[in-house]
Chain A
Amino acid sequence: MSTLAPTGQLSTTAALARLLPYWFTVARRTWRGSVVSSLLNPVFYVLAMGVLLGGYIDGDPERLDGATSYLAFIVPGLVAAHAMQTAVADTSWPVFSNFKWNKVYDSMVATPITVRQVAIAHLSFVALRVAATCAIFDLVIAFFGVFETWWGPFVALGAQALTGAAFATLMYGFACRIESDAAFGVVFRIGIFPLFLFSGAFFPVSNLGPVGERLAQLTPLWHGVNLSRMFSIDRIDWSLATLNLGVLVAVLAIGSWWAVTGLEKRLTT
């Protein structure tokens, strides 16, 4: 049995074509603020963590998940973690504000666009922004000789963007379900920050001991970090890569449902 689409309802593609000009206009008006974090932060990270801190660490592939230097180990993971941070920053206060304070979403749903399409368009834009940020990061680290193959950065970028998109949907759905933005502070402190530190970006998760390692491997970020690193240093365990990819796609699918239903609950009163 099929359900009829409401009369006049646009296809998702058509709705994206109508909504993305808005997001690109916003980006054009506000890019100056984000260019610093997009361009300079990667350079700072690579210099501080990869080069300067890495100088004290032996480049032993046995202890660094196959990486031949600490720089090559840490940087691909950092990009994946950076993707998560960019994604959750873009889907926390900005989403909350769009229905609570400046009500941009309300103005969108007064048109032929549906609530579901509003959520999909915003998430698509966040995914594009995360991908662009990661691409810049990858370009910077390419000069430090991190990538072992010519195709590595492209596949790694896919893994990083997927990681960001998955986290974007989770935070989006959360933002739609809270009453006060104070909840973001809690999530960032007890969720995002520990994930950033302990999901294998800075050290192999085997260092956490058997239980800690298992726990770390349950987090979506570890799957993103691992995938990004394997593709970058060309030490790919394909069965593990399939698992990593499967987990991220599953989180993206569940998160998308969580985000769309969250916004529908919020705006349809």
Chain B
Amino acid sequence: MIRAVGLTKSFGDFEAVKGIDLDVCRGEAFGFLGPNGAGKSSTMRMIAAVSPVSGGELTILGMDPAVDGPAIRGRLGVCPQEDTLDSELNVRDNLVVYARYFGIGRTDSRARADELLEFVNLTEKAKARVEDLSGGMKRRLTIARSLVSSPELLLLDEPTTGLDPQARHLLWDQLFRLKQQGVTLVITTHYMDEAEQLCDRLVVMDKGLIAAEGSPRDLIRRYSTREVAEVRFGVSDDDNPHEAYADQLADLGDRVEVLPDRLLVYAEDGDTVLEAVHTRGLRPVATLVRRSTLEDVFLRLTGRTLID
């Protein structure tokens, strides 16, 4: 569906995407995981055939976006990072006019709008003004709008940013249903749980480059341990430097990460690590054992957390 080789994007002297290779297959849910400014949205805009490629090769649905932009866009659904809904129109009209852009006739556009409102649970809000909707409802409407043309490929740029947990789960459910219907999903996110929930395969992006690629489980296995013991010793300062604890914990796991508020000990068995911590006479103020996540993968690959 999407193939990129050495893809770059520059804005003047600034290089947002510095040469990435990608292959997205039909029917898969593919993710770009990375912090803000990693180059995810710039890549998405190139894939959406709205932003010209600066260098390298990009093929979408077998076509070149520089030559076949309209044909490509006709087969894509795009849910942009910022809502681009028309606040002067009501909820249903937003869908109807958008369907017309794809050449869908008036009667069919209305039927399609009603069907999609049902799909995203907004039928009751059909006549409401867009500005009266909650953030979650607006996102759902934007997703409904991206589906008016029954796209083969759906691009979702940070689909759940700014939503409360309940709204996020509702959206994930709807995206999961689309995936089951065979729609190829390409998602950017800086939420590791979203990437884990939705993506079959993902790339970790940082500073315009791909740091790693694989399935969430595969990445965790490759770049992290099964469990993580989180140990808190209060605030790190000159009198209580966390680095000193790191030296004492170093041999308890594969590696130790020092964060401003806690230390992470990566090991196969977190409980054993905590027992050893206590045996050594260390008295942490709080401890926690958890499974490794993509956040740990990102920390390992870049030395930074996803949300700084």
Contacts and interface: CB of A to CB of B under 8 A. Distances in A.
A83 to B, nearest CB: 24
A114 to B, nearest CB: 6
B71 A112 contact: yes
B106 interface: yes
Given A25-B93, A25-B97, A268-B52, A8 B68 contact: yes
Interface residues of B, number: 37
Interface of A: 6-10, 14, 18-19, 21-22, 25-26, 29-30, 102-104, 106-114, 267-269
A113 B103 CA distance: 10
A269 B12 CA distance: 10
A104 B94 CA distance: 10
13 contacts: A8-B71, A9-B70, A9-B71, A19-B100, A22-B97, A103-B82, A104-B84, A106-B50, A110-B80, A111-B101, A112-B70, A112-B74, A112-B101
A239 B61 CA distance: 57
Contact of A8 (B11, B52, B74, B89): B74
A204 to B, nearest CB: 42
B106 A269 contact: no
A265 B68 CA distance: 19
Given A21-B106, A112-B73, A112-B101, A269 B51 contact: yes
A106 B84 contact: yes
A34 to B, nearest CB: 13
B119 interface: no
Contacts of B73: 8, 110-112
Given A18-B100, A21-B97, A104-B86, A111 B80 contact: no
A268 B78 contact: no
Contact of B51 (A102, A107, A112, A268): A268
B84 A7 contact: no
A216 to B, nearest CB: 38
Interface in B170-205: none
A109 B101 CA distance: 9
B221 to A, nearest CB: 37
A112 B102 contact: yes
Interface in B97-156: 97-98, 100-103, 106, 145, 149
B70 A114 contact: yes
B88 interface: yes
A26 B86 contact: yes
A108 to B, nearest CB: 6
A110 B50 contact: yes
Given A6-B71, A18-B100, A18-B101, 11 more contacts: A6-B68, A8-B72, A8-B74, A10-B70, A19-B100, A26-B86, A106-B50, A107-B86, A110-B48, A112-B74, A113-B101
A18 B50 CA distance: 19
Contacts of B307: none
A269 B42 CA distance: 10
B277 interface: no
Interface in B235-282: none
B1 interface: no
B63 to A, nearest CB: 7
B302 interface: no
Contacts of B50: 106, 109-110, 267-268
B27 interface: no
A7 B100 contact: no
- A-B pairs, 8 with minimum CB distance: A8-B71, A107-B84, A103-B84, A8-B70, A7-B68, A111-B101, A112-B74, A112-B70
B70 A26 contact: no
Contact of B89 (A29, A109, A113): A29
B97 A111 contact: no
Nearest to B106: A21
